[in-house]
Structure 1
């Protein structure tokens, strides 16, 4: 089996304890996607086990069901009699340009508008394809990015290795960790059953990676408050990702919004954010500012393309990073086809989310020991490198098909109707993953602890 756990344990400073894996088979891919799912979930579980051992002297066993982990990397929600809205905007996707492939990411209305300012307004994919065909891929990518949109030319792994951003990402650690001098004296209020009880998590992340991290922490008893901008919505992922959380809206561009936000931050233990590196600086919030406002805060952030290099402030998503970094091109060669072949799931997002969760829990263990806050920075592009460096893998048998027995017995009363969740893919003895709140709409709660 491809060993992805060892480099993750090294990046997080986790003890190299073995992980019990159950179930065989793998998601179909030229890369070790199921191994990545199991390793990232397993590392998050090991971080929890380490916290429990530090606080109680007892080390729980940790095991991952590889099959359930693979399913959760797609979705965990099984609606009863209703449907989750589609994930993708009608014109989002891969298009042949004059000299190769490019992907347009248009799910957010302002990102679609940016692409249409460059290419002209269209109603459907066929019209968009005709417009893209006239462009050189690199020039179109740059034009859309310059308009504030999101696009990625398909590059080979070799081209990405030689690209200034690929070189920058290669020089970064998988998890960039730092400890702060600012201290706090917060005792552990948790228990073996709910190890994160009493921990307040302020979540400023969107779409997938960050919300995966905060959903995991909520499953261990953390109080998660998600903050969104007044008009933001992501209907295709909200039912999947708001499990266990309260969701409020704030406008950080207004004095009142900032005031409420800073009051929330003062009482937060963990902050997750996925804004571009320069976006928070423009709002006046830097790492030192966080620590001044909330001494001892654990600050975990992610971006798409890494924290150094010319693209550090570029907007990006999992599917775009797969195009830029050579994953979609390698998939195309593996499938012997003439169009990009991405990973079968948004694995960079989900894996990075569990690594963020592990980093936050590691920093919490450290804070309980030394009273110091800490930070961790991760990126989708660096997680892509972890997966690609593990190499291409021989085809494995498919995962056993999903059955009704894979679902929990409880019915979740979501804001859209009843649903089941798949059974948790991770088992920590004595500390079951369980969520106190069903999935709900963005903005359905007040911005208060």
Structure 2
């Protein structure tokens, strides 16, 4: 249960490694077709309403059935938002002992900003990344500006979203590996024993702190490098033609399906032959087209 970039990138990477991923969204939220063309690849999609019902903490039966069989629950909604609806880590552990609960927020899970909502660009600004980007650009322009003279300059990419999503996936896989190792090392497991759950917590702010700790190229070096194509010529082998039934607003065609070019994930094998296509790893259709059940 996540939207836009960071959370969906995490689960897309899980799908690329072979996980059965079911993307759940609300029928009341607008979808983001140009984002989902990329981030929803490899996933099945369903719609579920968790706003209705009383009390708020009562989970819809279809969702509860899914959770009872799930290995991972991944979410990136505002802090505490889903917990109010009965989807806290503690509640899910009672429903599905041993589940990995992965969550992402903007400013961390402790401290005075823990309940603040924000997305990548706001977090970059709050953490000083846009300030440093402007300082670097001013160095290239031969201008030395400091303090209040510096006007923040946005990065050309949502670096925190993509990095945090990748770290979230890595931590989720690490939890599953650790759980399997611990389970295999136990001499005897009784039916009364309850498997420990696992929690993954990633924040955009901590990701920003890590990225900044790696250092920064001096402006004279960074800004004089020639711009690269969106997809460099040497990387065209990573492209794959895919068929999509996704209806993108503004696309001038009445065809039921269209050919699109998409970047293959690094974990996906070389392009399959026309007689051996992986129908799961395709550009998705609209959201909410699959049943609320595991494959």
Q: TM-score range, shorter-chain basis?
A: 0.7 to 0.9
Deviation at 1:257, TM superposition (A): 6.0
Q: Which string of whole-angstrom CA distances, capped at 9 and with x for unpartnered residues, describes residues 262-293 of structure 1?
A: 11111111110112232123223322211100
> In structure 1, which of residues 221, 230, 247 is the aligned counterpart of residue 27 of structure 2?
230
The answer to whether the Cα contact below 8 Å between 1:251 and 1:257 also exists between their aligned partners in 2 is: no
Match in the other structure for 1:86: none
> In structure 1, which of residues 352, 356, 361 is the aligned counterpart of residue 168 of structure 2?
356
Distance between the aligned counterparts of 1:281 and 1:422, measured in 2?
A: 35
The answer to whether the Cα contact below 8 Å between 1:352 and 1:380 also exists between their aligned partners in 2 is: yes
Gaps of 5+ in 1: 1-203
Residue 409 and residue 239 in structure 1: after superposition, are their counterparts in 2 closer, same or farther (change >3 A)? closer
* Aligned-partner SS, 2:239: coil
Q: Which string of whole-angstrom CA distances, capped at 9 and with x for unpartnered residues, describes residues 132-165 of structure 1?
A: xxxxxxxxxxxxxxxxxxxxxxxxxxxxxxxxxx
Match in the other structure for 1:415: 246
* Aligned-partner SS, 2:8: helix
Cα RMSD for the two superposed structures: 2.4
- Output the TM-score relative to the length of structure 2: 0.74
The answer to whether the aligner puts 1:296 opposite 2:93 as a matched pair is no
Residue 320 and residue 447 in structure 1: after superposition, are their counterparts in 2 closer, same or farther (change >3 A)? same
- Output the TM-score relative to the length of structure 1: 0.50
The answer to whether the aligner puts 1:378 opposite 2:202 as a matched pair is yes
Mapping of 1:151-190 within 5 angstroms? Answer: none
Distance between the aligned counterparts of 1:445 and 1:301, measured in 2?
A: 24
Distance between the aligned counterparts of 1:448 and 1:235, measured in 2?
A: 23
The answer to whether the aligner puts 1:325 opposite 2:166 as a matched pair is no
* Aligned-partner SS, 1:277: coil
> In structure 2, which of residues 281, 285, 291 is the aligned counterpart of residue 440 of structure 1?
285
Gaps of 5+ in 2: 142-149, 184-195, 248-257, 271-277
The answer to whether the Cα contact below 8 Å between 1:211 and 1:353 also exists between their aligned partners in 2 is: yes
Match in the other structure for 2:211: 387
Mapping of 1:211-226 within 5 angstroms? Answer: 211-226=8-23
Match in the other structure for 1:279: 81
The answer to whether the Cα contact below 8 Å between 1:363 and 1:373 also exists between their aligned partners in 2 is: no
Residue 345 and residue 387 in structure 1: after superposition, are their counterparts in 2 closer, same or farther (change >3 A)? same
Distance between the aligned counterparts of 1:265 and 1:288, measured in 2?
A: 13
Deviation at 1:437, TM superposition (A): 3.5
* Aligned-partner SS, 2:125: helix
Residue 428 and residue 415 in structure 1: after superposition, are their counterparts in 2 closer, same or farther (change >3 A)? closer
Distance between the aligned counterparts of 2:37 and 2:197, measured in 1?
A: 32
The answer to whether the Cα contact below 8 Å between 2:17 and 2:267 also exists between their aligned partners in 1 is: no
* Aligned-partner SS, 2:136: helix
Match in the other structure for 1:110: none
